[in-house]
Chain A
Amino acid sequence: MDQKKKDIVPFEHVNFNAVWANGKTEKEFIEHERHHGLTDAQLSEAYKLCKLAQNPPAEVVETKQTPAPAAAAAVK
């Protein structure tokens, strides 16, 4: 199951539109948002956070296996 997507990603004093950023390349994103006074490294990190917010990793669900009766008896 996917975790809930986030549409706004706060980074430093700026709140980025993750939906928009998800459709842009990193280079396009950095050039577009450079006026906020963040360094390119910071903008690169913000871009990655936006991508992650829009493409969250699938949640790992651990399932507990119940041993079959025969197997359980063998353990005893």
Chain B
Amino acid sequence: MSIVNSCSTVGSNLGDVSCQGRRETPSMFMVGGKQFSASEYVDPDTLQAAIVAATKLSTGDSNKLYSFPIINKVTNATEANTKGSLALGPVVRLKKGRPAYTFVMQDLTQFQYENLLAFDNKVIPLFMFDDSSQFWGFRAGVSNNVLNTNPFSGAIVRIEVSGNGWKDSENVETGQAVVDISYLSISDFEKRASYMALPNFSTGDVEGLQDVSLIEPAAHVSNVHSLKAYIKVPQLSGDIDLGPRYGAALAALTWTGFTGVGFATPLTLTSVAYTGGKLVLTWDSTAYTALAAATKIKVVPPTVTVLDTADITEIEIGSITLVK
């Protein structure tokens, strides 16, 4: 080697900082567009509260996080590096393998699996919670001499969902749901992984919400419409009516209605009751009468956050469009 060289500029110092974390075994992951600001990750309790709050947002909110089921098996499916060499030369890495992992989630119900399929073959940011209570994501770097206050977001992955078929009576792993993730950017995965240890966080804190459908069980009578709230399941005749448990509480919350182009015109609800196993919505008769026949009315139920505050937890109610 020549005495004059540039070797000292190739790398960086290699001293370690004790007690810093590393990626451990994945326990559960969350996907969605939520980006945590520096004030939200100022300490573990604040970040934990922000994570839980993000899972309770309504579908369609850009800050919503969806929590996936518990992971029961992890397989490293990272692509192998592509290597080559000249006849006499050293082995050269031609291409670095892209990080990818296969997760098996045990004994998911058909109900849950169908909901997972909504994420099949999608590209979405992902946060990983590992078995050392560390919550991993992505944070863009900053230039030197500046403290990093960049938003903390999920790392972009492609998700594929498969499996949940018949078991073969031989191997526990057969018939289980399989979720494959592949990180789009090797560089982001390797260089920009950021985490916070959340010692008080548990996967059960962010269980996925259940979708609730509103159904009109009978034709409306003038300006009075009736609704029932169901969780629809694959089990025949097994749809779950939320009325007996939550009907009165749901009626006490704020419901709204809209008509017109883009459902931008409010239609006043004068009362909401839970009567005879149904939610009874009464529209302002003057405004209702003025609507043309077959006018569509969109009913917007209480949000997940409002439901949660009223102790109606773990559900999200979808809207319904009624016809005059």
Partners in one complex: yes
Chain B contact surface mostly:
strand
Which chain B residues in 229-252 approach chain A with CB under 8 Å? 248, 251-252
Contact status of A13 and B285, CB under 8 A, knowing A8-B252, A8-B254: no
Please list the 4 inter-chain residue pairs (A to B) with the smallest Cβ-Cβ separation, ordered nearest first. Answer: A14-B273, A16-B271, A20-B270, A17-B270
Closest to A33 in B: B271
Against A, the Cβ 8 Å flags (1 = close, 0 = not) of B255-292 are 00000000000001111111100001010110000000
B224 within 8 A of A: yes
Against B, the Cβ 8 Å flags (1 = close, 0 = not) of A1-32 are 00000011010011111001100000000001
Identify 17 residue pairs between A and B in the complex whose beta-carbon atoms are under 8 Å apart, listed by A's number.
Answer: A8-B252, A8-B254, A10-B252, A13-B248, A13-B251, A13-B274, A14-B275, A15-B251, A15-B252, A15-B272, A20-B269, A20-B270, A32-B270, A32-B284, A35-B221, A36-B273, A36-B280
A37 within 8 A of B: yes
Cα distance A10–B273 when bound, in Å? Answer: 9
Closest approach, in angstroms, between the C-beta of B78 and any C-beta of chain A?
55
Cα distance A8–B274 when bound, in Å? Answer: 14
Cα distance A16–B284 when bound, in Å? Answer: 12
With a cutoff of 8 Å between Cβ atoms, the chain A residues found around residue B285 in the complex are 32
With a cutoff of 8 Å between Cβ atoms, the chain A residues found around residue B251 in the complex are 13-15
> Are A15 and B271 within 8 A (Cβ)?
yes
Cα distance A35–B280 when bound, in Å? Answer: 10
Chain A contact surface mostly:
mixed
Which chain B residues in 95-150 approach chain A with CB under 8 Å? none
With a cutoff of 8 Å between Cβ atoms, the chain B residues found around residue A13 in the complex are 248, 251, 273-275
Residues of A within 8 A of B (CB): 7-8, 10, 13-17, 20-21, 32-33, 35-37
Closest approach, in angstroms, between the C-beta of B221 and any C-beta of chain A?
8
With a cutoff of 8 Å between Cβ atoms, the chain B residues found around residue A33 in the complex are 270-271, 282
Closest approach, in angstroms, between the C-beta of B290 and any C-beta of chain A?
15
With a cutoff of 8 Å between Cβ atoms, the chain B residues found around residue A16 in the complex are 270-271
Pick from A7, A15, A32: contact of B273, CB under 8 Å: A15
> Are A14 and B271 within 8 A (Cβ)?
yes
Closest approach, in angstroms, between the C-beta of A26 and any C-beta of chain B?
14
With a cutoff of 8 Å between Cβ atoms, the chain A residues found around residue B274 in the complex are 13
With a cutoff of 8 Å between Cβ atoms, the chain A residues found around residue B271 in the complex are 14-17, 33, 36
Closest to B255 in A: A15
Closest approach, in angstroms, between the C-beta of B321 and any C-beta of chain A?
21
> Are A32 and B252 within 8 A (Cβ)?
no
Contact status of A7 and B254, CB under 8 A, knowing A17-B268, A20-B270, A35-B224: yes
With a cutoff of 8 Å between Cβ atoms, the chain B residues found around residue A32 in the complex are 270, 282, 284-285
Closest approach, in angstroms, between the C-beta of A2 and any C-beta of chain B?
21
Cα distance A17–B275 when bound, in Å? Answer: 17
Cα distance A18–B254 when bound, in Å? Answer: 12
Contact status of A21 and B270, CB under 8 A, knowing A8-B252, A13-B248, A32-B285: yes
